[in-house]
Amino acid sequence: MKALNQVVDTLSRVPGVVVAMVVGATDGLIVETSAVIGGAGGADPRKPTAALAAYLYSKVTRASDAARLGTPAFMRLEAERGHIFVVGARDVVLVTIVTTDANLGRVRLEMMNAARADS
């Protein structure tokens, strides 16, 4: 299994990724995180994003189960000024905050690869 700090390091180097985190799937607490790129000033978004993204992913998993679709492979939340990506990997979820101009396909691919390596 790839070390968690390596996972975070790899993801945070993808252009457009503002922050990459490994988060506990059940408690929503940050296990490993990158620094926030361009994050000088303003409140640190990591702790609330981690907790709420993990919570949201657990609800999406239930919705997916209810629809008989199985485990969700990837979750993307599109907002006005960027995206939140979430991928499940056993006991943790990988969470990234991504800018609107990022190469979303590349971020998705890197996250899926990281999740597979982590499983």
Residues that bind another protein (CB under 8 A): 23-24, 26-29, 47-48, 50-52, 54-55, 58
What minimum distance in Å lies between the beta carbon of 56 and another protein?
10
Q: Rank residues 17 and 50 by Cβ distance to another protein and give the closer one.
A: 50
What is Dmax (Cα atoms) for the chain? Answer: 44
According to DSSP, residue 36 is labeled P
What is the three-class DSSP state of 42? coil
Q: Is 98 left (phi over 0), alpha (psi -120 to 50) or beta?
A: beta
What minimum distance in Å lies between the beta carbon of 109 and another protein?
27
Q: For tokens 């390091």, what's the residue?
A: 9
What minimum distance in Å lies between the beta carbon of 101 and another protein?
29
Q: Rank residues 86 and 102 by Cβ distance to another protein and give the closer one.
A: 86
Q: Rank residues 58 and 99 by Cβ distance to another protein and give the closer one.
A: 58
What minimum distance in Å lies between the beta carbon of 29 and another protein?
5
The count of other CB atoms within 10 Å of the CB of residue 87 is 24
